[in-house]
Amino acid sequence: MNVKLLVTGGYGLVGKSIQELTSKTTKYEYVFLSSKECDLRDSVACQKFFSDNNFDIVIHLANVVAGLYGNINNNYTMLVDNIKINTNILECCKKYKVKRLVNILSTCVFGNDLKYPLTSNQMYDKIPDSSNEGYSYSKRLLATGSKLLTTSSDIEIVSLIPTNIFGKYDNFNIDNGHVFPVLIAKTFNAEKNLIIKGTGSCYRQFIYACDFAKIILHFVDCKLQKQFNQLIVGPPVKDEITIKELINKIVKEFDFNGEIIYDSSFPEGQHKKTVDDSELLEYIPDFKFTPLEESLKETVDYFKQNYETVRK
């Protein structure tokens, strides 16, 4: 009998990347779920969906998400909607005896002024940055709920805490997207001037969605030494760059020769949240991230070729 595997948020950035990687495999029976098929904020709908199926493994990607300014303007909605989604998933995994759950958190769970590089046990040491407070607390509650669930059931849980994810299937909406796809879209549409919100001085580390999908699939298959596992997923510290450095790489890909104007009147979010790859390497000792220049080129080329159909 095939192992049945649910991917919530199955048509988002990471979900589509998993689809691409698993399109030719028959090892599992994959079910990629979209919000159109089931609103996971609705506990009745969520339970019916689980009861109609018999999932062995769940990769939980679904969440209400936006970029910096979407988070700032919708902190309450981000908190409430994501708590509903995450609670319903945990409850259904418990009730319908799912064997393994792979969760996706975010490095936004960490507050400011911590010791760098960050480690997963620092999650509760400081309050989250106010720019994404609602989203951050919802992810902290998912982490806590997951840990507690392993103490009262047989489920194995892996909670992954990635740095900024980007890739071909991103949301390139200038108003609601994350920084990487927004900068690609703005540069593509710029004529004389490229207007950037903020100074570009914040530091970030980026993960190519294809790399992250491979990591997730590793935790679907691997033998776990512990029932509850929580780890940061990020590249080495040397791969951290400023937003200004990222912009310079993007404009080079587009051969943009206009003026770049930084508007310092806009908020920029957390200044830095530096991680390294040490926690990941404990589980996957030989993992290598795709170099940023290579993954950036692939993303920009895909965006150009599929401009009419990309999310925006």
Residues identified as active-site: 135
Cα dist. 169→6, 78, 241, 264, 300 in Å?
19, 22, 22, 30, 11
**What distance in Å separates the CA atoms of residue 205 and residue 275, rounded to the nearest whole number?**
8
E strand map for 187-281: 193-197, 203-204, 206-208, 228-233, 241-242, 259-263
Tracing tokens 């049945």 back to the chain, one arrives at 4
Amino acid identity at 267: P
Q: Three-state SS across 115-155?
A: CCCCCHHHCCCCCECHHHHHHHHHHHHHHHHHHHHHHCCCC
Contact 88, 245 (CB under 8 A): no
Contacts of 180 (CB under 8 A, 6+ apart): 164, 166, 170, 206, 246, 299
Contact 34, 10 (CB under 8 A): yes
Cα dist. 283→224, 226, 236, 240 in Å?
9, 11, 15, 22
Contact 286, 218 (CB under 8 A): no
